[in-house]
């Protein structure tokens, strides 16, 4: 069953799933999740089956190139929970559409081909980083 996180007591259990994503800063994600509970511009959905949390998605409304977009900050689905991520993505899309937003963006460190094939994302730009020499 897919549920919306609408109180802070749900956040700690969902954070346990975040630990499955290598390199994710748990403290920062916790702040996002807590914000989503009270913000009309952020959503946190999770999937629960037989009292086990198996997946979540967190997104917020951001501005990109002068337009509002839905940006997925974090998402995880237990590999045993087939098709759950697609359902969570559909929920995020519907939420965005209810706010008049059709574009959904995300970043990934993984090969984007799987996201293009499975979820119909398309590569639209490149993210570059520059750090000062120390």
pLDDT at 44: 96
pLDDT at 108: 74
Pair of tokens at residue 41: 């511009």
What angle separates helix 26-38 from helix 11-18, to the nearest 10 degrees? 140
pLDDT tens, 47-73? 999 999 999 999 999 999 999 999 999
Q: How confident is the model at residue 134 (pLDDT cuts 50, 70, 90)?
A: confident
pLDDT at 126 exceeding the cut of 90: no
CB 5 within 8 A of CB 12: no
Burial class of residue 1 (count of CB atoms within 10 Å of its CB; 0-12, 13-18, 19+): exposed
Range scoring the smallest mean pLDDT among 9-13, 28-32, 78-82? 78-82
Cα–Cα nearest to 70, from 87, 40, 92, 39? 92
For the chain, domains (ranges, CATH) are 2-119 (3.40.630.30)
pLDDT at 121 exceeding the cut of 80: no
Give 73's contacts (C-beta < 8 A, 6+ positions apart). 29, 32, 58, 59, 60
pLDDT tens, 80-113? 887 899 999 999 999 999 999 999 998 877 777 7
The torsion angle over the Cα atoms of residues 60, 55, 91 and 65, rounded to 10 degrees, is 30
């Amino acid at each position: 069953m897919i549920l919306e996180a609408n109180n802070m007591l749900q956040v700690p259990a969902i954070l346990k799933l975040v630990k499955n994503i290598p390199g994710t800063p748990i403290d920062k994600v916790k702040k996002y999740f807590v914000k989503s509970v009270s913000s009309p511009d952020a959503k946190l959905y999770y999937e629960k089956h037989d009292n086990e949390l198996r997946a979540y998605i967190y997104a917020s409304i951001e501005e990109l190139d002068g337009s509002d977009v839905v940006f997925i900050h974090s998402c995880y689905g237990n590999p045993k929970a087939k098709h759950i991520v697609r359902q969570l993505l559909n929920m995020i899309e519907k939420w965005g559409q209810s706010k008049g937003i059709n574009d959904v963006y995300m970043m990934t460190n993984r090969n984007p081909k799987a996201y293009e094939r499975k979820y119909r994302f398309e590569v639209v730009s490149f993210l570059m980083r520059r750090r000062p020499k120390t």
